[in-house]
Amino acid sequence: MIEDRKLEHIKICLDKDVDASHNYWDDVILKHVTIPKVDLEDIDLRVEFLGRELQAPIIIDAMTGGHPVAKKINENIARAAEELGIGMAVGSQRSAIENPNLEDTYAVIREYEVPLRMGNLGAPQFSLGYGEEEVQRAIEMVDAHALELHFNYLQESVQPEGDRVVGGLMDKLGQIAKKFTLVAKETGAGFDRSSAEKLKEMGFKAIDVSGVSGTSFSAVEFYRGGKMGKLFWNWGLPSPYSLITLRDLNIPLVGSGGIRNGLDVAKALALGANVAGIAKEILRFATKSHVAVVERMEEIIQELRVAMFLSGVSNVEEMRKVDHVIKGELRYWL
């Protein structure tokens, strides 16, 4: 059952080492500016993304739903996102599409004034019959301002019960992108230039790169019995690499995949992201309380503010133009 799988994913991410072997954000160094531009507390973190104003350039990215345990996690995140004025995306809503009794595990976020709410469906399902009806249901379920469509073909390939079909996918997505606000999202393997260009041409409004650096869903599936998961543990494109190769595509970008702190958020902005997406770093706090989420997110936001202060900028747009150095494995990629 999908419901059981959702709980398995949560437990594995909390209890097992499922991170990529290398975090490529460590290969990005921001250049220090000796004399800051403005007072630390005058740094302006506000940003507009998908027509919504956020108080900081951060989205608590898609994690879960579809299980009673996930309902409380989503509620804690939503309550914190409302308080902090940041965005939130729920995990894949497929389980609730197929079993309406699980809708409340996602719909709970409607009880909070989250400034940017994003729903979530898997792209593979659109090769298996999903269409406008399912998109509309997912959006209405969480009163979403946009819908993420996640491309998780690495996970599906190594998952024992995975969906490995792509026939008719692009035609179907092209039709849907004309009618809805869609965000294309990877799930840990990164976005290549060619795929991003196609989705932009179709009408997708943003791309969430989610590359190698953080959670490997191939690793997650390895712990669920997918034998190939170990072999493909580190498969994919590094998160920073995807940002660098897409930054001139003139489409809003979410820098995600391995973001651990405010310094990583600053690095993502410097490489071209409009906002950063954080997931696993928040999961363990979201299992405790909304207060725990708020406290950790406030730390991350203050870390971002300090990084911007020391980079000599006063706002997010300026941060996207700062000087930086690339070293190590990421340099090889470039």
In this predicted structure, what is the pLDDT of residue 2? Answer: 64
In this predicted structure, what is the pLDDT of residue 172? Answer: 95
- Which residues have CB under 8 Å from 201's CB, separation 6+? none
Q: How confident is the model at residue 321 (pLDDT cuts 50, 70, 90)?
A: very high
Q: How far apart are CA 212 and CA 43, in angstroms?
A: 30
CB of 84 within 8 A of CB of 46?
A: no
Concatenating the DSSP letter of every residue in 120-180 gives: EEEGGGGGTT--HHHHHHHHHHHT-SEEEEEE-HHHHHHSTT-----TTHHHHHHHHHTTS
Q: How many domains does the chain have?
A: 1
User: 286: domain CATH number?
Assistant: 3.20.20.70
In this predicted structure, what is the pLDDT of residue 3? Answer: 65
The tokens of 299 are what?
């730390």
Read off the pLDDT of each residue in 217-241 and give the average, rounded to a whole number: 95
Given CA atoms 234, 237, 243, 244 in this order, what sign does their dihedral have? positive
CB of 30 within 8 A of CB of 266?
A: yes
Q: Is 52 helix (H, G, I), strand (E, B) or coil?
A: strand
Q: How far apart are CA 6 and CA 258, in angstroms?
A: 21
Indicate whether 1 pLDDT > 70: no
Cα–Cα–Cα angle for 180, 200, 119, nearest 5°?
35
Indicate whether 174 pLDDT > 80: yes
Q: What is the mean pLDDT of the chain?
A: 96
182-186 and 206-208: which strand pairing?
A: parallel
Indicate whether 121 pLDDT > 80: yes
| Predicted model pTM | 0.97
Q: Is 7 helix (H, G, I), strand (E, B) or coil?
A: helix
Measure the CA dihedral 191/195/196/202, to 10°: -150
CB of 123 within 8 A of CB of 165?
A: no
Read off the pLDDT of each residue in 249-275 and give the average, rounded to a whole number: 98
Q: How confident is the model at residue 161 (pLDDT cuts 50, 70, 90)?
A: confident
Read off the pLDDT of each residue in 99-125 and give the average, rounded to a whole number: 97
Q: Is 223 helix (H, G, I), strand (E, B) or coil?
A: helix
For residue 148, the enclosing domain spans 2-333
